[in-house]
A and B are shown apart, each in its own frame.
Chain A
């Protein structure tokens, strides 16, 4: 009954829906008074959402046994990178008029920009090594080690979001809380593996 190709296609199309609605709204002038700012903020939040989804897969598999989810992890991770790139391009065009010197100065002068840019740059090697061929070439262990970069990337991403707020930090805190749970689960698993816990009991 299950059709892995179709399942992937479903996730692929659904992940594009937010961008499609965003572009639709933009085309019909429904993004409000400041469409550029809205587009920038929304693509940024979407990047974080996909980073969180990527990180949620391992805990969901291990706790609830949703092992099938592993099939989608690569695609969801690549979507995080994709939305991050759209976010960066939006910033470059509408905030910085595509002036590379101004962008460089921005990275240098403003911690929150530097933090966001670092997160995006760190995602590049992960995207590049996401193919089956690269996994083989690197070897599973090395590949896994490299891809642990997603932990600092997610932390930097949420920090970037937190740093731009003026006073209301509800949403960054929400993301931080979910991220803390997802990373906390891994730390817990690492330092209290099931076997040791059982032995202690």
Chain B
């Protein structure tokens, strides 16, 4: 018994070393593969938000209009969750892709059915009284924010060019390389300026939008030059964009280079892309669903539970008048 015991003891020691080495290998393999999987996942799902460092806008007029009781969405969220297909179709990727977008020199041409067509330099537009407007923004995708814009009424600008009496609509155009408006005074950045092809985005460029003239002249409709008292970050439509708070977000066209008054309903990008899903009006309406998803509720950024979507995004008192007698199910 003692003899056989001795032999066995040595065997056990051997096996222990062997097992230890194997366990060590296994632990290494486990740690190595999980780290690789995690790094692979992280590579496909980057997670660093971009900081906003744009200049402050001087002398912003506050509280000229009443503000919604809703809590404002943090700047970091507003600047890192964007739909701006010229840069990326990923909402979290736009900020990074638009980082090097050049917005100087910049002009906005206002033409068409107006008495005095004019090309405005961005410097001139920034000289117009800038006021803060805290608006709800409801995206057609079913999420919403509350954004403290800085800007001025579109009406202020349109009055400078004197619309003709036969002007019925306003057409807007976003900057896109190679599609600048005509005119000697037009000055816009050259090159591709960081924007991608329409093929990758799946929608046609330049992005175009439109409003009825009474919508364009409505006091709630503004041209925004900033958020949170600072100049617009590139990803939010720098240097100047439209904001129409009672319509789905895609109507609020970004980085505007041209406004043309017309007598005919102008073509609009998403309506061209998918006419049964996105109408010309695109007023926020909880009773008319998008063909593929419900519009009855929305997720306010920062909240986990869905909240009810309000008719005209809660601006019914101000704008319902514009659509009196219209069938909003047909004119969605």
Interface residues of A (CB under 8 A from B): 3, 6, 9-10, 13-14, 17-18, 20-21, 25, 30-38, 42, 94-97, 106, 109-112, 163-170
Contacts and interface: CB of A to CB of B under 8 A. Distances in A.
The 9 closest A-B pairs by CB, nearest first: A167-B202, A33-B81, A168-B89, A33-B77, A17-B37, A168-B202, A14-B37, A30-B47, A33-B301
Contacts of A167: 85, 89, 201-203, 273-274
Contact of A14 (B34, B49, B80, B200): B34
A10 B92 CA distance: 32
B293 A21 contact: no
B60 interface: no
B273 A37 contact: no
B164 interface: no
B168 interface: no
A36 B299 contact: yes
Nearest to A94: B304
Nearest to A46: B41
B136 to A, nearest CB: 15
A32 B80 contact: yes
B38 interface: yes
A56 to B, nearest CB: 16
Contacts of A31: 47
A72 B152 CA distance: 62
Interface string B90-133: 01100000000000000000000000000000000000000000
B24 to A, nearest CB: 13
B143 A37 contact: yes
Contacts of B38: 17, 20-21
Contacts of B30: 9-10, 13
A14 B37 CA distance: 7
A62 to B, nearest CB: 25
B322 interface: no
Given A97-B305, A167-B273, A6 B26 contact: yes
Nearest to A32: B92
Contacts of B184: none
B301 A97 contact: no
Interface of B: 22, 26, 29-30, 33-34, 37-38, 41-42, 45, 47, 49, 73, 76-78, 80-81, 85, 89, 91-92, 141, 143, 200-203, 273-274, 289, 292-294, 299, 301-302, 304-306
Contacts of A169: 202
A112 B306 CA distance: 20
B80 A34 contact: no
A13 B143 CA distance: 35
A13 B45 CA distance: 19
B250 to A, nearest CB: 10
B52 to A, nearest CB: 13
Contacts of A164: 292
Contacts of A34: 81, 91, 143, 299, 301
Given A112-B292, A167-B89, A168-B201, A10 B304 contact: no
A21 B77 CA distance: 21
Contact of A18 (B22, B29, B41): B41
A38 B294 CA distance: 19
Contact of B34 (A17, A112, A163): A17
Given A13-B34, A167-B202, A170-B200, A36 B304 contact: yes
Given A21-B41, A34-B81, A163 B292 contact: yes
Contacts of A42: 45
B165 to A, nearest CB: 38
Nearest to A17: B37
Contact of B41 (A10, A17, A33): A17
Given A17-B34, A95-B306, A168-B200, A33 B292 contact: no
B49 A32 contact: yes
Given A30-B47, A37-B299, A95-B306, A110 B293 contact: yes
A198 B301 CA distance: 62
A21 B26 CA distance: 22
Most chain A CB atoms below 10 A, which of B37, B81, B141 = B37
Nearest to B293: A110
Contacts of B92: 32-33, 38
A10 B29 contact: yes
A21 B42 contact: yes
Contacts of B34: 13-14, 17
Contact of A106 (B45, B77, B91, B294): B294
